[in-house]
């Protein structure tokens, strides 16, 4: 049987008494763009944080390319390099220039040569339209620009899968577009992604699969995103999607 890029088996995650994810199962194949939607508190962000081992888990297993990723394992650094993550609040390193933000991890973690990575960094920054800002500090950039840098910072590690956690939630509408266009072009180039978002139009445009979560469980799953957004099968998803209409 073919090895899935990401496989989650019976994942349990709780904060104390509060159960977030209940025996959660998921397989993601190379090239999938999985959009995860659902009401706040449904566990979608926690799911991404678990995949990147930013959370301790209470049961089950998360496999990346067949290998388990776990917070306290020795190989955590190697495993995390396979998983790129971009957060809602971008969180660039404020004391480093844009270029150094991008270069820090490849040089220190992957021990790559500075001039080789720098070339790639400038290429990637160029693709998101920010090569000319390489010597600026994060504070000099707009939210949308910072978020594009954060995407580049994750991409330069050549992750197998990119996790995007509500990356436009903190942005003005115009900036949302410039960031999402970057993500769309990534999807076109075949990147594997898992995206948590509240931008339904974007989700519809980009998804190859949709997961609708509530209370830590998949309520509805669809490999036909267009059909899902037009006529969801479950009442709960119908109600949720309706809340975006006016």
Partner 1 sequence: MDWNVIISYLPRYKDALLLTLRIGWQGVLFALITGILCALVIYLKIPVLRQIIGIYIEVFRNTPLLVQLFFIYFALPKIGLQLSPEACGVLGLSLLGGAYMAETIRSGLENIAVIQSESAESLGMSKSQTFRYVIFPQALSSSVPGIMANVIFLLKETSVFSTISLMDLMFTAKDLIGMYAKTIECLTMLVVFYLIMILPVSILGNILERRLRFAEFGS
Q: Per CB under 8 A, does 139 bind partner 1?
A: yes
Instruction: Rule CB under 8 A: choose which of 16, 72, 95, 245 binds partner 1.
Output: 95
Q: Residues 37, 200: contact at Cβ < 8 Å?
A: yes
User: Cα 27 to chain center, whole Å?
Assistant: 15
Q: Find the shortest distance in angstroms from Cβ 2 to partner 1.
A: 26
Q: Per CB under 8 A, does 70 bind partner 1?
A: no
Residue 81's alpha-carbon distances to 45, 104, 106, 160, 165, in angstroms, are 19, 13, 10, 8, 17
Our CB check for partner 1 shows the closer of 14 and 105 to be 105
Our CB check for partner 1 shows the closer of 91 and 217 to be 91
Q: Find the shortest distance in angstroms from Cβ 145 to partner 1.
A: 13
* x/- letters, 145..184, toward partner 1 (CB under 8 A): -x---x--xx--x---------------------------
Contacts of 69 (CB under 8 A, 6+ apart): 51, 52, 53, 62, 63, 76, 79, 80, 82, 83
Instruction: Rule CB under 8 A: choose which of 12, 70, 81, 233 binds partner 1.
Output: 81
Q: Find the shortest distance in angstroms from Cβ 172 to partner 1.
A: 15
Q: Per CB under 8 A, does 109 bind partner 1?
A: yes
* x/- letters, 180..219, toward partner 1 (CB under 8 A): ----------------------------------------
Our CB check for partner 1 shows the closer of 164 and 219 to be 164
**Strand duo 217-222 + 209-214: pairing:** antiparallel
Contacts with partner 1: how many residues (CB under 8 A)?
A: 30
Structure tokens at 184: 């769309």
Our CB check for partner 1 shows the closer of 163 and 219 to be 163
Q: Per CB under 8 A, does 89 bind partner 1?
A: yes
Q: Find the shortest distance in angstroms from Cβ 79 to partner 1.
A: 8
Q: Per CB under 8 A, does 37 bind partner 1?
A: no
Q: Residues 149, 92: contact at Cβ < 8 Å?
A: yes
Q: What is the 3-state secondary structure (H, E, C) of 131-197?
A: HHHCCCCHHHCCHHHHHHHHHHHHHCCCCCEEEEECCCCCCCHHHHHHHHHHHHHHHHCCCCEEEEC
What does the binding site for partner 1 look like in residue numbers (CB under 8 A)? 52, 54, 77-78, 80-81, 83-85, 87, 89-95, 104-105, 108-110, 137-139, 146, 150, 153-154, 157
């Amino acid at each position: 049987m073919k090895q899935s890029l990401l496989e989650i088996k019976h994942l349990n995650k709780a904060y104390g008494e509060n159960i977030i994810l209940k025996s959660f199962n998921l397989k993601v194949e190379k090239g999938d763009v999985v959009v995860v939607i659902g009401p706040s508190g449904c566990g979608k962000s926690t799911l991404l944080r678990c995949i990147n081992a930013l959370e301790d888990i209470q049961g089950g297993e998360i496999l990346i390319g067949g290998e388990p990723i776990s917070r306290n394992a020795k190989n955590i650094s190697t495993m995390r390099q396979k998983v790129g993550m971009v957060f809602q609040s971008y969180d660039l390193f404020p004391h480093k220039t844009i270029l150094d933000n991008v270069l820090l991890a490849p040089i220190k973690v992957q021990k790559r040569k500075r001039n080789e990575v720098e070339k790639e960094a400038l290429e990637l920054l160029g693709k998101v339209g920010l090569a000319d800002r390489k010597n600026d500090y994060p504070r000099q950039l707009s939210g949308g620009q910072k978020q594009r840098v954060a995407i580049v910072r994750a991409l330069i590690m050549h992750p197998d899968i990119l996790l995007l956690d509500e990356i436009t939630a903190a942005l003005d509408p115009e900036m949302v577009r410039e960031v999402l266009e970057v993500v769309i072009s990534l999807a076109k180039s075949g990147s594997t992604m898992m995206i948590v978002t509240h931008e339904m139009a974007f989700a519809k445009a980009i998804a190859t699969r949709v997961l609708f979560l509530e209370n830590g469980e998949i309520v509805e799953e669809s490999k036909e995103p267009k059909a899902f957004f037009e006529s969801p099968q479950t009442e709960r998803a119908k109600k949720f999607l309706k809340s975006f209409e006016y």
